[in-house]
Every structure is written in structure tokens, then in C-alpha cells.
């Protein structure tokens, strides 16, 4: 991954404490897993930003390499990879996600 992509990703991550890389947008998710991730964040009433990887192939591939996570969606909190929709669901059900988002 070239330096400019890495820098762009770091900028995107800095732009919001909670950043969800997803397919589509919160109102028009293009994949079931992305829709589930959005639903969880909405349920918790969290403020979050999203990045539609379908609109940017460079970021779509770059983010997979950046966090060594080959699938979308991916949730970043305070610049740290929290995981995909499975981990979000597990943490949501255990209450860990609410705590992590307030950190």
C-alpha cells in the first residue's frame, strides 16, 4: 500500500472517533453485514461516521491491508480496529461495545 493511501486512511480515521467502513451508506446499506453494523451503532445511540468503500476502490483495498482485516464492514474506535460485524454483535450482546464506544 503506498504512502498516500496510508495517509488518507489515517486522515479518515482521525475525522471521527467512531468510523465504520461499510458497503453503502447508513440509509442505503448494500450488504447485510454492513446493515447490521449500522443498526447496532444506531441502537446504541452512538455518534458515528461511515465511509462507503463501494465509492473508493483504493480505500476499499487499502483498509483491508491497513488493519489486516480482509472483509467489510470494519469498525474503528479511537483509531483502533475493533473488528467486523461478528465482533460488534458479540460485544453489543455482552455490553462491551457500549463501554468501548464511551471510552
Partner 1 sequence: MLEKDVEDRLKKAFPGSDVMVSDMTGGGSNFEVRIIASQFSDLNRVKQHQAVMKVFDVELKSGELHALSIKSLAK
Residue 62 binds to partner 1 (criterion: CB under 8 A): no
Residue 25 binds to partner 1 (criterion: CB under 8 A): no
Contact residue for partner 1 among 68, 95, 102, 103 (CB under 8 A)? 68
Residues 6 or more apart in contact with residue 66 via CB below 8 angstroms: 1, 6, 9
Q: Are 76 and 58 in contact (CB under 8 A)?
A: no
Residue 69 binds to partner 1 (criterion: CB under 8 A): yes
Of the pair 26, 83, the CB lying nearest partner 1 is at 83
Residue 70 binds to partner 1 (criterion: CB under 8 A): yes
Give the binding range for partner 1 (CB under 8 A) out of 14-22, 40-48, 50-58, 82-90.
Answer: 82-90
Q: Are 13 and 79 in contact (CB under 8 A)?
A: yes
Could you tell me the smallest distance in angstroms from the CB atom of residue 82 to partner 1?
7
Q: Is 24 helix (H, G, I), strand (E, B) or coil?
A: strand
Separation between Cα atoms, residue 97 and residue 70, nearest integer Å: 22
Contact set with partner 1 (CB under 8 A): 33, 68-71, 81-84, 86-87, 90
Amino acid at each position: 500500500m503506498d504512502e498516500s493511501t496510508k495517509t488518507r486512511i489515517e486522515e479518515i480515521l482521525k475525522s471521527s472517533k467512531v468510523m465504520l467502513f461499510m458497503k453503502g451508506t447508513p440509509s442505503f446499506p448494500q450488504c447485510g453485514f454492513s446493515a447490521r453494523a449500522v443498526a447496532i451503532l444506531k441502537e446504541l445511540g452512538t455518534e458515528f461516521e461511515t465511509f462507503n468503500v463501494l465509492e473508493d476502490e483504493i480505500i476499499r483495498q487499502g483498509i483491508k491491508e491497513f488493519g489486516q482485516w480482509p472483509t467489510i464492514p470494519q469498525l474503528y474506535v479511537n483509531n483502533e480496529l475493533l473488528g467486523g460485524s461478528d465482533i460488534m454483535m458479540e460485544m453489543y450482546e455482552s455490553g462491551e461495545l457500549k463501554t468501548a464506544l464511551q471510552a
